[in-house]
Amino acid sequence: MDQSRLPDAEFEIMDYIWSQTPPVTSAMVMDAVGRQKGWKAQTLLTLLSRLCSRGFLSGEKTLGREKAFYPLISRQAYLQRETRSFANQLHRGSPASLLAAFADENLTDSEIDELEKLIRTMRERSK
């Protein structure tokens, strides 16, 4: 099981699957993502198969040739892992350094409120 970073095409498929209530069929993914990208059915099936072999999805045959897919990792868990990896690689594991990278951004009041709420929650947990 290789749950390393998802390439863009595989992430787009997973992002769609995470947004749906399982099971998600290959036809649903083709309609939502594949056609938009101009993928042939075989390309999509190859990507779905790769996601299964890497441990991101489980797939089971339904009636006919259709397959139903279930995510084996949540969007939140994947994003947390990727963010941690990014912070470790580029910010030496420092969350403060990662957040400081956004200091020059024009954050909205709502985004600042979210960050303040997160910091309060973290302080409460560390007591």
Q: What is the DSSP string of 49-95?
A: HHHHHTTSEEEEE-STT-EEEEESS-HHHHHHHHHHHHHHHHHTT-H
Contact 27, 65 (CB under 8 A): no
| pLDDT confidence tier of residue 2, bands split at 50, 70 and 90 | low
Q: Which two tokens stand for residue 42?
A: 């075989």
In the chain, the amino acid numbered 98 is: L
Average pLDDT, the chain: 91
Contact 71, 57 (CB under 8 A): yes
Cα 125 from Cα 117, distance rounded (Å): 12
Cα 51 from Cα 63, distance rounded (Å): 21
pLDDT in tens, 50-93: 999 999 999 998 877 789 999 999 999 999 999 888 888 888 87
Q: Kindly report the number of other CB atoms within 10 A of residue 13's CB atom.
A: 26
Where do the domains of the chain lie, and which CATH numbers do they carry? Answer: 1-93 (1.10.10.10), 95-127 (no CATH)
Q: Which two tokens stand for residue 3?
A: 């749950």
Cα 68 from Cα 61, distance rounded (Å): 6
Q: Rounded mean pLDDT of 113-126?
A: 90
pLDDT for residue 24: 97
